[in-house]
Amino acid sequence: MIEVLAKLGRGPVFLAGEVLECVITFTNPLSASSTSASSEMLAWASAQIHCQFHTSENRVALPPSDGIKHDVQAENETVFVPNRGERGQCILSTPPKILFCDLRLDPGESKSYSYCETLPIDGPPSFRGQSVKYVYKLTIGCQRVNSPIKLLRVPFRVLVLHGLKDYQFPQDEVVAPSNPFLEEEEGLKKDSRLADLATELLMVATSRRSLHLYNISNTRGKVGTFCIFKTVYKIGEDVIGTFNFSEGDIPCLQFSVSLQTEESIQEEFQRRRGQPVCFSTHARHQEACLHTAQSSFSLPIPLSSTPGFTTNIVSLKWRLHFEFVTSGESSGTCLVRGSQSEAVTWAGVEQIGVDTFSWDLPIKVLPTNPILASYVSQFSSTNSITI
C-alpha cells in the first residue's frame, strides 16, 4: 500500500499565467516493525493540467467533433490519460511531465517531488454556470507493475485578468539589493512580477471614482435620483449606491436592488434561436421607502463568484437590476386621517393603486488577489489517494 498526497503550496486559486506548484509525496505507511512490512514499487508517475468543458444539451448546440477521442482506458494499459472518465470535452491541457520511473519505497519511507507548470494565459476562467462549465484539474497518474493506473485529481480555480496577455516584461531588471548565496529561478521571478502587475492593474482599474447620477422616472414623472461613485469592482468588494426621493414628483413605495450575472450563449451555439438569457442573483436589497427622503444599499460581490468574461461560446456580464413600486396617486393621498378629535392619528390607506417598473445598470466585475480568493474556495489545497 502506498499513500499519495498532493499539496498546492499557495492555495487552490491562481491567475492565468501564474506558475502552479504542487508537492507530491509518496509514502509507504507501514513501519519496519510491522509483520507485513515490505518494500513497495511504483513503475512510474506523471502529472498534467487540463480544463474540462461541460455544456447543457438543452441550451448549447456544439458542432460535431472532427474526430472521436476515446477516453476509455483499459486497466492494463500504461497510457496516461488525465481526463479518463471525465464528462465533457478537454479543451486545454499542458504537456505531461514525468515525476519518476521505478520508485522503490521501504517501510516507513517517503519521497516528495515538486511539479511546476505555467497556467495558459489565454484559457477561460473557472466557471460553473447554468449552461456552461469550465473546470480545471491537476491530474497525477501512477501505476504499479501489472496493475491498473490510478489517478489523483486536484481541482483548482483559475481567474483571468484581461490585459496580462499583452504585457511584455522589460528585459532589464530593476537594480535592487540581492543575496548572492540564494538562487531564484527565473520562472518564479516572472511569476512574482506577474502577480505584482495584476495587483497594480486591478488597483488602478477599481480605485477610480467619479460621480454617476441617474434620474429615476416613469411615464408619469420623476421618482427620484440614484447615485453611484464607480461601476468597476473586484470580487469581494461591496457595491454601494444611494437614492434621493426628496426631489421626486411620484411617491416611491418600495424598491429592490439585485446584483446579478447574465449568462448568454453566442448566437451560433444556441440550441434555439432567441432562447432566453440565464440570470443568477448573488445579493439583493429590498426596502419600503414611502415618505423616505434618502436611502442607500450595500451589496457584497461574493469572492466565490466568477468575474465577467467572454469566450467563443458564452459570455458572462454583471448588472444591477432595480425594481420600483410607485404610487398611482399623489403623495398626499397615501395617508388618511384616523379621527376627527383634537388628537390626530394618521394611518396608511388599505388599498392604493400602484405602478411598477424596472431598470438595469451594467457594471464591470474583475478578479481579485488569488490568495484572498483562496480563503473562501470550495477546493482543498491537499488531496490524497491510497494505491
> The domain that contains 270 carries what CATH number?
2.60.40.640
101 with 228, same domain: the answer is: no
List average pLDDT for each run of 10 residues in the chain, which is 387 residues long.
92 93 92 67 94 91 60 54 84 93 90 95 94 96 88 96 66 45 49 78 90 93 95 96 93 96 94 90 95 95 96 96 87 55 68 90 95 91 92
What are the two backbone dihedrals, phi and then psi, of residue 106, each rounded to the nearest 5 degrees?
Answer: -80, 165
DSSP 126: P
Q: What is the pLDDT of residue 362?
A: 97
210: how many CB neighbours lie within 10 A of its CB?
8
139 with 222, same domain: the answer is: no
Degrees to nearest 5, angle at CA 107 with 102 and 108:
105
User: What would you report as the CA-atom Rg of the chain, rounded to the nearest whole angstrom?
Assistant: 29
Specify which residues 357 forms β-bridges with. 324
362 with 378, same domain: the answer is: no
Q: How far apart are CA 382 and CA 370, in angstroms?
A: 17
DSSP calls for 10-56:
T-SEEETTSEEEEEEEEE--S-TTSTT---EEEEEEEEEEEEEEEE-
148 with 44, same domain: the answer is: yes
Q: How far apart are CA 184 and CA 193, in angstroms?
A: 13
Q: What is the β-pairing status of strands 309-310 and 314-327?
A: antiparallel
DSSP 291: T
379 with 308, same domain: the answer is: no
Residues 111, 77 contacting (CB under 8 angstroms): no
Domain for residue 204, yes or no? no
Report the first-to-last Cα separation within the chain, whole angstroms: 6
232 with 253, same domain: the answer is: yes
Domain for residue 185, yes or no? no
Residues 266, 118 contacting (CB under 8 angstroms): no
Domain for residue 195, yes or no? no
Distinct helix (H) and strand (E) counts, the chain:
2, 23
316 with 262, same domain: the answer is: yes
Extract the C-alpha cell encoding 11: 492555495
113 with 239, same domain: the answer is: no
* Site of grid cell 448566437: 267
Extract the C-alpha cell encoding 90: 478537454
Q: State the Cα torsion 117-135-129-233 to the nearest 10°.
A: -20
Q: Which of 98, 6, 114, 101 is nearest to 44 (CA)?
A: 101
Q: What is the pLDDT of residue 37?
A: 66
Specify which residues 189 forms β-bridges with. none
Specify which residues 35 forms β-bridges with. none
Domain for residue 361, yes or no? yes
Provide the number of structural domains found in the chain. Answer: 2
Q: What is the pLDDT of residue 330?
A: 60
Residues 115, 21 contacting (CB under 8 angstroms): yes
In which domain, by residue range, is 36 found? 3-63+71-164+371-386
Domain for residue 189, yes or no? no
DSSP 130: S
Extract the C-alpha cell encoding 318: 454583471
Domain for residue 30, yes or no? yes
Domain for residue 347, yes or no? no
Q: What is the pLDDT of residue 70?
A: 45
Q: What is the pLDDT of residue 323?
A: 97
307 with 252, same domain: the answer is: yes
Domain for residue 23, yes or no? yes
Please enumerate in sequence order all residues whose Cβ is within 8 A of that of 33, keeping only pairs 6 or more positions apart, or say none. none
* Site of grid cell 383634537: 342
16: how many CB neighbours lie within 10 A of its CB?
24
28 with 120, same domain: the answer is: yes
106 with 232, same domain: the answer is: no
155 with 11, same domain: the answer is: yes
From residue 343, alpha-carbon distances to 10, 213, 291, 334, 338 in Å are 69, 42, 22, 20, 10
